[in-house]
Chain A
Amino acid sequence: MELYQKTIHEINDLLDKKEVTVTDVTQAVVNRINAVEKATDAYLSLQTEAALEAAQGLDAELSGRAKRTSLEGIPYGLKDNMCTKGILTTCASKMLYNFNPPYNAEVYDRLSEEGGILLGKTNMDEFAMGSSTENSAYKKTRNPWDLNKVPGGSSGGSAVAVAADTAFYTLGSDTGGSIRQPASFCGVVGMKPTYGLVSRYGLVAFASSLDQIGPFTKDVEDCALVLNAIVGHDAKDSTSLNLEKTDYTQTLKQGVKGLKIGVAKEFFGEGLQPEVRKSLEDAIAIYKTLGASIVDVSFQHLDYALSAYYMISSAEASSNLARYDGIRYGFRAEEYSDLVDLYKKTRSQGFGDEVKRRIMLGTYALSSGYYDAYYKKAMQVRTIIKADFDQVFGGCDVLLTPTAPTTAFGIGEKTSNPLEMYLTDIYTVPVNIAGIPGVSIPCGLDNNGMPIGMQLLGPILSEETLLKTAWAFEHESGLTNLKAPLGTEV
Chain B
Amino acid sequence: MSLTREDVTYVANLARLEFSEDEVIALADQLGAVLDYAETLSGLDTSKIKATEHVLAVQNVFRADEIESCLTNEEALANAPESEAGCFKVPRVME
Q: Does A340 contact B (CB under 8 A)?
A: yes
- Chain A residue numbers with a CB within 8 Å of B8 are 360
Please determine whether B15 and A360 come into contact, CB atoms closer than 8 angstroms: yes
Please determine whether B14 and A382 come into contact, CB atoms closer than 8 angstroms: no
Task: Knowing A332-B81, A342-B91, A360-B11, say if A435 contacts B17 (CB, 8 Å).
Answer: no
- Chain B residue numbers with a CB within 8 Å of A357 are 27, 30-31
Task: Knowing A340-B16, A344-B16, A374-B38, say if A434 contacts B55 (CB, 8 Å).
Answer: yes
A 302-335 to B, binary, CB cutoff 8 A, 1 in contact else 0: 0110111011000000100010011111111000
- Chain A residue numbers with a CB within 8 Å of B51 are 376, 379-380, 382-383
Q: Does A373 contact B (CB under 8 A)?
A: yes
Give the interface size class of chain B: 35 or more
Please determine whether B79 and A329 come into contact, CB atoms closer than 8 angstroms: yes
Q: Does A99 contact B (CB under 8 A)?
A: yes
**Residues of B4-36 contacting chain A, CB below 8 A:** 7-8, 11-12, 14-19, 27, 30-31, 33-35
Task: Knowing A239-B56, A383-B52, say if A378 contacts B41 (CB, 8 Å).
Answer: yes
A99 CA to B34 CA, complexed, in Å: 32
A308 CA to B16 CA, complexed, in Å: 25
Give the number of A-B contacts (CB < 8 Å): 156
Please determine whether B81 and A326 come into contact, CB atoms closer than 8 angstroms: yes
B 40-62 to A, binary, CB cutoff 8 A, 1 in contact else 0: 11101010011111111010110
Please determine whether A377 and B14 come into contact, CB atoms closer than 8 angstroms: no
Q: How far is the CB of B94 from chain A (nearest CB, A)?
A: 10
- Chain A residue numbers with a CB within 8 Å of B71 are 102-103
Q: Does A235 contact B (CB under 8 A)?
A: yes
Please determine whether B41 and A339 come into contact, CB atoms closer than 8 angstroms: no
Please determine whether B27 and A384 come into contact, CB atoms closer than 8 angstroms: no
A340 CA to B53 CA, complexed, in Å: 31
CB nearest neighbor in A for B93: A339
Interface residue from B11, B31, B75 paired with A367 (Cβ < 8 Å): B11
Please determine whether A367 and B14 come into contact, CB atoms closer than 8 angstroms: yes
Interface residue from B33, B79, B93 paired with A330 (Cβ < 8 Å): B79
Please determine whether B52 and A363 come into contact, CB atoms closer than 8 angstroms: no
Please determine whether A238 and B19 come into contact, CB atoms closer than 8 angstroms: no
Q: Does B80 contact A (CB under 8 A)?
A: yes
Q: How far is the CB of A49 from chain B (nearest CB, A)?
A: 23
A 405-440 to B, binary, CB cutoff 8 A, 1 in contact else 0: 000000000000011001000000000011100000
Contacts A327-B88, A332-B81, A383-B50 given; 13 further ones with Cβ under 8 A?
A99-B79, A196-B56, A308-B41, A310-B34, A339-B91, A357-B30, A357-B31, A361-B34, A364-B35, A380-B46, A382-B51, A383-B49, A435-B55
Chain A to chain B contacts (Cβ below 8 Å), 16 pairs: A99-B79, A241-B56, A303-B40, A304-B40, A327-B90, A328-B79, A329-B79, A356-B19, A357-B27, A361-B35, A381-B44, A386-B55, A418-B34, A419-B34, A435-B56, A460-B56
Interface positions of A (Cβ within 8 A of B)? 98-100, 102-103, 195-196, 209, 235, 238-239, 241, 301, 303-304, 306-308, 310-311, 318, 322, 325-332, 336, 338-340, 342-345, 347-348, 351, 356-357, 359-361, 363-364, 367, 373-374, 376-384, 386, 418-419, 422, 433-435, 460
10 pairs of A and B residues whose beta carbons are closest in the complex: A435-B55, A329-B79, A379-B51, A332-B81, A380-B46, A238-B61, A307-B38, A363-B15, A380-B49, A343-B16
